[in-house]
Structure 1
Amino acid sequence: MPSFKGRLHDPRTATAVGRWLGVAIAVCFVTGVISHLLQKPPDWLQQELPPRPVWGYRLTQGLHVASGIAAIPLLMAKLWTVYPRLFVWPPARSVRHALERLSIAVLVAAAVFQLFSGLLNTVQWYPWPFAFVPVHFAVAWVLVGALLLHIAVKAPEIKAHWSRRSPGTLELPAEDGPDRRSFLAGVAAAVGAVTLVTVGQSFTPLKRFDLLAPRHPDHGPQGLPVNRTAAAARVTTVSTEHWRLTVAGPRPYDLTLDELRAMPQHTVTLPIACVEGWSKSAQWTGVRIRDLLDRAGAPPGALLRVVSLEKRGAYRIMEMGRGYARDPVTLLALRLNGELLSLDHGFPARIIAPNRPGVLQTKWVTRLEVL
């Protein structure tokens, strides 16, 4: 059996790091479930999703990405504290021991996959053949299940090393104390550093330190980042002369761009919050969706389907429930920060709604359907 001379591969150090890692994973999991339900709501939930607070998705998704990034150095530190046990021989001393090691293998594999695939998602790099969202969501449940099982199995050991004052605390060499504190301080510094240089993409007071995040909140056309450009969506030009907004409902009608601009205009301040973690508030001006629905004779509880000029893409057709459609700040926006929308931001018209993922703020809108 190999000999490991480091003195900090011990249960107390593993427990200390594990506490922090557990909190990061818990925050990441809860906010990830919220994100998934807002992005891909089941039919029974579609009508019940709340549009308020307007900054809700910005907060939860910012926390999701920040806690996931912070969990990476914590996971590396946790694995460092326990890796000598990977070389224990024999690898399985009993059926119970074999099942315990198998559960740990599942836990480690799920954690590594979730954190690093999530990190690659923030830069929109997908070097795998499967769809990211459903697989990431499914493995999150595997990770949480494996983590809860691990905590249950290790509960006595965790309790014994939770703190120096815990009942039944096992005595460890006193000379390890300073080294352990230095190690934990280094881990905390690493977590703080990666958070500081990435969280500015959503927490704009720290945007000056946004060195490693894939987006800066001020960089982009009209001072707002863009994930999917018009060129990527193959929307190269839009003829204002021929463009029409079709509203299909009990009293269907079409509007030219001039007619849409002649309707009562409203200005709101709402954030764009992307699933990759960046977000920024902006001023939007346009026609309230509920005014367009009322003109079409839509009943109060109707769903709304929104269709984009984009010919392909997972979100070229989007649906929103009554809460969003009837909210007074949900707009078919025509202007951004006082200027006409650029093509990359969805000219001639786009959806802007509160507490909603950016992928559902449909651009290049051409049709609204009352369901």
Structure 2
Amino acid sequence: MTPRNRRRPLRPPVLPRLRPPSFSGRLHDARTATSVGRLLGIAFAVCFVTGLISHYLQRPPGWLADYLPSRPVWGYRLTQGLHIAFGLAAIVLLLVKLWTVYPRLFAWPPVRSVRHALERLSVAVLVATAVFQVFTGLLNIVEWYPWPFSFVPAHFAVAWVAAGSILLHIAVQAPEIKAHWGRRSAGTLALPAEDARDRRSLLLGVGAAVGVVTLTTVGQSFTPLKRLDLLAPRHPDHGPQGLPVNRTAAAAGVTAAALRDWRLEVLGPRPFALTLDQLRALPQARARLPISCVEGWSAEARWGGVRIRDLVERAGGRPGAGVRVVSLEVQGAYRVMEMGREYVEDPLTLLALTLNGGVLLPDHGYPARIIAPNRPGVLQTKWVTRLEVL
């Protein structure tokens, strides 16, 4: 074999040397992080306050149930609409905030002292809880739950941890935040002038992204913008009888056989039962009320039916009595619901029989459902079969 035909020995491939990442972007700085963090803090504050309102309206402690207000009728529609709108904006702001600070995650050495270790641990808790809140909230909007735990108590509990970690982070970073808060602060004046132009461009882009997300989703609750409702999972006008449906009769296990012999039982000092025809023969009331769901969508509709307070009075209930409502649903977290006295005594709280001028369809709760002002949609119980005067 000639030297030309001789095979060269195989050599192992040369692997590239692993080097720690380097960051040369000029916007990974404290001033940019402070500017974005200021907006993110506002978004999280609004979400926290409106989230508390939503939680305590859905699951009030016993001492609070009788004092929850039924007015203004649009109260829950406003607070939950703000909760979802600011929550979606927070996703954009959180991603940009993480982008501005993530080089610090690769700082070396990772821990320089006990104080530094505690500081990094607090940041880890802050990032983890913030990411958990915004993305589980996003999946709740589209009603996809790929986790084994219950969303509502987990989201509520982590909200407190997130709020505490934000306050701790602000306290620890207060000197740096103060140094880079305003345009004329000492920390800002020390930065290169060309960075200011890039930073303004970044913040304008962030504002545009937040604006686009808001305009294309807020129409699901703020109906004047419903024509721009392109990215939200619900449209306020889409659904039977002009109203969206979250839980259908089939999904709730409400069958035609169960509805065939339906009667309304009202339990109290003077219990009675009524057929649907007998209910329709009672004095009817009408109300124009929004139905607002925790997923963020809401829509106003015309409802007709019998006032709850009239049924309670007929059953011998005392003024100030509450009501327990039982549905035909086979199972579900809200199959049994309780209303405090503010809702029971409000003349707009109805056992609704009609929707937008027509008889309720099965998916909207036929033959009878609850509609009350300033109340989450999950508590506007459908397929009502029993009222218990408390």
Which bin holds the TM-score, normalised by the shorter protein?
Answer: over 0.9
Using the size of structure 2 for normalisation, the TM-score is 0.94
Q: Which residue of 2 aligns with 1:215?
A: 234
Q: Pick from 49, 74, 88 the counterpart of residue 30 of structure 1.
A: 49
Contact 2:180-2:186 within 8 A present in 1 as well: no
Distance 1:148 1:75 in 2: 16
Q: Pick from 180, 191, 195 the counterpart of residue 172 of structure 1.
A: 191
Distance 1:328 1:277 in 2: 26
Q: Pick from 55, 64, 71 the counterpart of residue 45 of structure 1.
A: 64
Distance 1:235 1:86 in 2: 53
Q: Which residue of 1 aligns with 2:172?
A: 153
Q: AA paired with 1:16?
A: S
Q: Pick from 123, 130, 133 the counterpart of residue 152 of structure 2.
A: 133
Q: Which residue of 1 aligns with 2:213?
A: 194
Q: How many Å apart are 1:166 and its aligned residue?
A: 3.2
Contact 1:240-1:257 within 8 A present in 2 as well: no
Distance 2:207 2:67 in 1: 40
What secondary structure sits across from 1:329 in the alignment?
coil
Contact 1:238-1:348 within 8 A present in 2 as well: no
Distance 1:286 1:2 in 2: 66
Q: How many Å apart are 1:168 and its aligned residue?
A: 6.2
Contact 1:57-1:356 within 8 A present in 2 as well: yes
Q: AA paired with 1:51?
A: S
1:237 aligns with 2:271: no
* Alpha-carbon displacement from aligned partner over 1:310-343 (angstroms, at most 9, x marks no partner): 1111111100000001100000000000000000
Distance 1:234 1:168 in 2: 63
Q: How many Å apart are 1:250 and its aligned residue?
A: 0.5
Q: Which residue of 2 aligns with 1:314?
A: 333
Q: Which residue of 2 aligns with 1:122?
A: 141
What secondary structure sits across from 2:210 in the alignment?
helix
Using the size of structure 1 for normalisation, the TM-score is 0.98
Q: Which residue of 1 aligns with 2:313?
A: 294
Distance 1:93 1:312 in 2: 54
Distance 2:146 2:110 in 1: 33
* Alpha-carbon displacement from aligned partner over 1:164-197 (angstroms, at most 9, x marks no partner): 2236655100111111100000011111111111
Q: Which residue of 1 aligns with 2:98?
A: 79
1:331 aligns with 2:336: no
Distance 2:38 2:321 in 1: 46
Distance 1:341 1:173 in 2: 66
Distance 1:238 1:121 in 2: 32
Name whichever of 158-167 and 129-138 sits farther off: 158-167
Unmatched runs of 5 consecutive residues or more in structure 1:
none
Q: How many Å apart are 1:242 and its aligned residue?
A: 2.0
Q: Pick from 222, 225, 241 the counterpart of residue 206 of structure 1.
A: 225
Classify 1:83/1:168 alpha carbon distance in 2 versus 1 (closer, same or farther; 3 Å): closer
What secondary structure sits across from 1:222 in the alignment?
helix
Contact 2:66-2:322 within 8 A present in 1 as well: yes
1:346 aligns with 2:346: no
User: Which one has a bigger Cα radius of gyration?
Assistant: 2
Q: How many Å apart are 1:236 and its aligned residue?
A: 2.4
For the aligned residue pairs, the C-alpha RMSD in angstroms reads: 1.1
Contact 1:161-1:170 within 8 A present in 2 as well: no
Distance 2:378 2:80 in 1: 13
1:11 aligns with 2:22: no
Q: Which residue of 2 aligns with 1:261?
A: 280
What secondary structure sits across from 1:163 in the alignment?
coil
Q: Which residue of 1 aligns with 2:113?
A: 94
Distance 1:364 1:232 in 2: 13
Q: Which residue of 2 aligns with 1:362?
A: 381
Q: AA paired with 1:175?
A: E
* Alpha-carbon displacement from aligned partner over 1:248-277 (angstroms, at most 9, x marks no partner): 001111111111000000110000000000
Q: AA paired with 1:30?
A: V
Unmatched runs of 5 consecutive residues or more in structure 2:
1-19
1:66 aligns with 2:85: yes
What secondary structure sits across from 1:195 in the alignment?
helix
Q: How many Å apart are 1:2 and its aligned residue?
A: 3.2
How many residues are aligned here? Answer: 371
Q: AA paired with 1:275?
A: V
Q: AA paired with 1:204?
A: T
Aligned-residue identity in percent: 76
Distance 1:40 1:177 in 2: 48
Classify 1:75/1:231 alpha carbon distance in 2 versus 1 (closer, same or farther; 3 Å): same
Q: Which residue of 1 aligns with 2:6?
A: none
Distance 2:287 2:66 in 1: 23
Contact 2:74-2:373 within 8 A present in 1 as well: yes
Q: How many Å apart are 1:152 and its aligned residue?
A: 0.4
